[in-house]
Structure 1
Amino acid sequence: MKVLHTADWHIGQLFHGHDRTYEHQQFLYWLVQTIKDEQVGVLLISGDVFDQSNPSAAAVKMFYRFLNQATKANPHLQIIVTAGNHDSAPRLESPKPLLESSNIHIIGLIEKDEAGNIDYEKLIIPLKDQTGATKAWCLAIPFLRIGDYPVIPNADNPYAEGIAALYQQVYQHALAKKQNGQAIICMGHLHTQQAEITDLDTTERLIMGGVEHISPASFHEDINYVALGHIHKAQRIGGKEHIRYCGSPLPMSFSELHYKHQVLVFTLNEKGISSPQPIEVPLAIPLLRVPSTHSSLPDVLLALQQLPDTNGDPGFPPYLQVCVLLDGPEPSLRHQVEKASAGKHVRLTKIDSRYRNASAGATQEQPFSHDRLNELKPLDVFTRVYESKYNTPVPEAIQQLFNQVAQEVSQIQAT
């Protein structure tokens, strides 16, 4: 029985303001065909189906259309969906009673009894072959929020230790069900230690000072496969072949320019599982960086002018990132870039500006104390910030404008 692992679809996401409906739809069409071609029996979606907790009606319709098409492509297909941190767990679970009749299981919430005890049985799903025989047990664990996991008294890291305890306990419940020849796999939407992150992961994921990092040891060594979501780059964790992030199917930032997005497929057999194999996801809209390295503005404008024209092409042009190296602030930068790229077969998405570091060897100043900061005049603060960012003295004209604004503010405060 083949299992396909995917995660982090983020349906409804905007890429620097650009709608991605076409890209998501192309991915889902491809996924349905892949399920059919690979004869996939189990589909695991490890969180972040949607990009927002309140997705649009169009995004929801796209997801349920996919479920319908996937189950038609393989009537014996089992689909297990867990909620991610971007998903609304109650909203994702709302059609659960109806979908379970089609072998579609959605786990968003950690259910508890009146005494506050976790109902671990609700997190354990049997994986059956076409004859109805149970081949494996899936620990379907969604993104865990405060209150979802056990409280560990005197824990050094209550979050990480609580999540580890939940995984250990749900494994013990599954072990009581397991029979000879049956495997145990689990799902998770979390940030593990040693995970390699992308630009978007850096800005979005590291929100708890590192305490959210979960040790790979949290997953029992006898678990055959750990299907993870949350980090957007496909990778093994802890050097283990069976602990995997599949990564996002669509690029989430320009740092993924040369990165091949994928899903993972493995086979359940009597010995456990086969080695997971990646299947590359076709890129519906490519990323383009011009120039390839940060260059002077004249060189950038020349490179943009040499791009191919649209010539009435109705297709979806590449997303364009422009990389420019400046000596100082350039107020007309966007206008010049837009003018140079007008009529070209690209979609201007991002201008990444950097400034020449004339003082690269200089020692970085220490932060000011609160008392020292209070002693500085507004112009002193502005000058330090300007010089720190642009590595050049503040032009006299800008100083005069700043003094004028500061004087007007002082007059308003005085009245």
Structure 2
Amino acid sequence: MMRILHTADWHIGQTLNGFDREAEHRAFLDALADVIVTEEVDALLVAGDIFDGINPSGESQRLLYTAIASFLRRRPGLTIVMIAGNHDPAARLEAPEAVLRELGVHVLGGLHRDGATVDLDRHLIPLTDASGTPRAHVLAVPYLRLGDLPGYTVGMQGAGESAVVTAVRALHAGMVAAALPRAGGLPLLAMGHLTCAGGLESEGAERRILIGGDHAVPPEIYPSELTYVALGHLHRAQNLDGGRVRYSGSPFPLSASEIGYNHGVTLVDLDAGPPHRHIPMPPTVACLRIPNTGFAPLDQVETALLALDLDADTPMGLRPFVHIALTPDRPATTLTAEAEALLDRHPVRLASLRIDRTTAEQPQAPPASLADTTPEDLFREAFRQTHSLDPDNSHLSAFRDALSEV
């Protein structure tokens, strides 16, 4: 039996509105260790965006390496393969790889070449079962940059598709062709960190990866000889190409748009069907949007918070994150201050606050000439565009007082 666990997009070190997520990451990594043991996993594939930024803190790095040590201690013989994503510090991630490799941990921060070809001694990694017998191989391909693409130069034109897609396709085709003889008939898998066309993106969560102006490549760039392709970057767990190409998704919501996702990891069993199984990872901290959709006035937000009946003694690191969407029934500065004061009275953490600007964003008529308007009319219009509502008598009175002193 050969079992492979596919995960990605941990984003260790991420913060929401200044609040760290260390408790959630610790809980996820502990739960991941349990899955590795319970499911008798032979290989762990981590498909990029391990860290949230290119300068991870010492604590973030300790969290990663403590987790790796736990995985290896609890599941001796486990092979771990990690690739860098677009968020990761490629060189720093790969720096301890010479030591980690002795422990069965392979880290690829960038694409390595041996002359004109990709160095398969680095990128083609055997995956062994509990007895140490090779049962499969994986082509570990980190986040690609323009310089990684064979024969590509700026301004090139592709034949029926963009030159970047043609170059990415050629890169993978060449790697697979060179890897197949080495694989000796064993299943060949691949790892990548990019956007495949047809994948569902998370609004406000994932940076659009642009390689030479291209945002996505078709899943068909992965040759049919590949048994399974473990991808990272998109945070929703989803299949492409009939499930042969898959995103495992993020371990928990990283933005408001991910609240409804079924977060988890993917178990790939090479010896039995179905080819893979999604394993949900229960959240440690609740992530809420109030209201669930659209916008609501502040008093309805307060009612919703009271209905949660939260424990006031909940430690800060375990308090729910709330994303608030408000109807602009008063000036934005006043509304923001009152919302923040309200949330301070509840055991929650404000992840984001949005005020409906649709009224202010409507196309405006051309401004009137100074001969056809008055200062007060201009004040009314500016107030309306800023706050999405008309000024009341107190605002007009303050404006008139200020104007009289000019």
TM-score by length of structure 1 reads 0.83
| Aligned mate of 1:176, from 168, 173, 181 | 181
Counterpart position of 1:222: 225
Sort the Cα spacing of 1:326 and 1:126 in 2 relative to 1 into closer, same or farther, 3 A: same
Shifted more, 69-78 versus 347-356: the winner is: 347-356
The code of the aligned residue for 2:216 comes to: H
CA distance in 2, matches of 1:6, 1:236: 14
* Structure 2 CA distance for aligned equivalents of residues 380 and 47 of structure 1: 54
- Bigger drift between 303-312 and 133-142 goes to 303-312
Once the 2 structures are TM-superposed, how far is the Cα of residue 296 of structure 1 from its aligned partner?
2.2
Mapped to 2, the partners of 1:399 and 1:81 lie a distance apart of 63
For the Cα contact (< 8 Å) 1:155–1:161, is it kept in 2? no
In the alignment, the residues of structure 2 paired with residue 245 and residue 329 of structure 1 have an alpha-carbon distance, to the nearest angstrom, of: 43
Deviation at 1:206, TM superposition (A): 5.7
Q: Provide the alpha-carbon RMSD of the alignment.
A: 3.5
AA matched with 1:185: L
Deviation digits for residues 324-346 of structure 1 (CA, Å, limit 9, x no counterpart): 21245332223322333344232
Which amino acid in structure 1 is aligned with residue 298 of structure 2? L
Structure 1 residue aligned with 2:150: 150
Q: 2:53 is paired with a residue of what secondary structure?
A: coil
Alpha-carbon distance change, 170 to 321 in structure 1, aligned in 2, over 3 angstroms: same
Shift of 1:390: 5.0
Contact 1:121 1:173 in 2 (8 A): no
How much does 1:301 deviate?
A: 3.5
CA contact (8 A) 1:242 1:276 kept: no
- Specify the alignment match of 2:107 in structure 1: 106
Query: Which deviates more from structure 2 when the two are superposed, residues 160-169 or residues 302-311?
Result: 302-311
The code of the aligned residue for 1:94 comes to: A
- The answer on whether the counterparts of 2:237 and 2:247 sit within 8 Å (CA) in structure 1 is yes
Paired position in structure 1 for 2:172? 167
Residues 211, 400 of structure 1: alpha-carbon distance in 2 compared, 3 angstrom cutoff = farther
Report the secondary structure of 1:295's partner residue: coil
- Between 1:146-155 and 1:246-255, the stretch displaced more is 146-155
1:187 aligned residue (177, 180, 191)? 191
- Equivalents in 1 of 2:366, 2:5: separation in Å? 50
**Separation in structure 2 between the aligned mates of residue 131 and residue 301 of structure 1, nearest angstrom:** 58
Check conservation: 2:150, 2:167, Cα contact below 8 A. yes
Aligned to 1:65: 66
Q: Aligned pair 1:258/2:260, yes or no?
A: yes
* Deviation per residue, 1:307-333 (Å, 9 max, x gap): 525443447221122222124533222
What pairs up with 1:2-401 in 2 under 5 angstroms? Answer: 2-113=3-114, 115-152=115-152, 154-156=156-158, 157-180=162-185, 182-201=186-205, 204-205=207-208, 207=210, 211-238=214-241, 240-269=242-271, 274-293=274-293, 294-308=295-309, 310-314=311-315, 316-327=318-329, 329-355=331-357, 357=359, 364=363, 387=384, 390-392=387-389, 397=395
Instruction: Compute the displacement of 1:165 (Å).
Output: 1.2
Q: C-alpha offsets along residues 25-58 of structure 1, whole Å, 9 cap, x if unaligned?
A: 1100111111000000010000111111121111
Over the matched positions of the two proteins, sequence identity in percent amounts to 32
Q: CA deviation at 1:211?
A: 1.3
Return the alpha-carbon distance in structure 1 between the equivalents of residues 57 and 64 of structure 2.
Answer: 11
| Alpha carbons of structure 1 residues 218 and 327: separation in structure 2 relative to 1, 3 Å | same
Q: Secondary structure at the match of 2:110?
A: coil
Q: Which consecutive segments of 4 or more residues in structure 1 shift more than 6 A? A: 365-368, 378-386, 398-402
- Partner amino acid, structure 1, of 2:204: L
Matched length: 391
Shifted more, 290-299 versus 381-390: the winner is 381-390
